[in-house]
Amino acid sequence: MDTTENSSVLRPRAAMMARLVQIHGDAAGEGTEEGAMIVTFEGYISGMPEFFTNDCNEAFRFKDRKQAEDFIAEFAHALPNPQVLDHP
C-alpha cells in the first residue's frame, strides 16, 4: 500500500476515533440498557484497541439509533455498507 492509500484510510479512521471518544466522553456517567451498534463489511465498530471487531459484545454502544445513524451520516464515505443494529 502506498502512502496515498494509507493516508486515505488512516485520516478518516482517526476522525472517527476522535468522534467516538467525544461521544463516550459526553455520555460519561450515563448508563443505558438500550443502545445501538454499527456493523459494516469490516465488522462491528468497537473503537479500541482495534477499530473493528467480529465480536458484537465488544462493539461500541451508541445511546440510541439516532446517534448511530448520525455517526454513519458523518462518516458514510469511510464506512463500507454500514448498518445500525440494536445492541444485544
- pLDDT of 20 > 50? The answer is yes
Residue 30: predicted pLDDT:
64
pLDDT digit string (tens) for 5-16? 556 667 888 899
Cβ–Cβ < 8 Å for 40, 55: no
Residue 47: predicted pLDDT:
85
Residue 2: predicted pLDDT:
47
Residue 1: predicted pLDDT:
45
pLDDT digit string (tens) for 27-85? 765 666 678 999 999 999 998 788 899 998 899 999 899 999 999 999 999 999 999 99
Q: Angle at Cα 31 formed by Cα 28 and Cα 34, nearest 5°? A: 130
Residue 40: predicted pLDDT:
95
Sign (positive or negative) of CA dihedral 79, 71, 12, 25: negative
Task: Count, in order, helices (H) and strands (E) of the chain.
Answer: 2, 4
Total domains in the chain come to 1
Q: Which domain holds residue 31?
A: 3-86
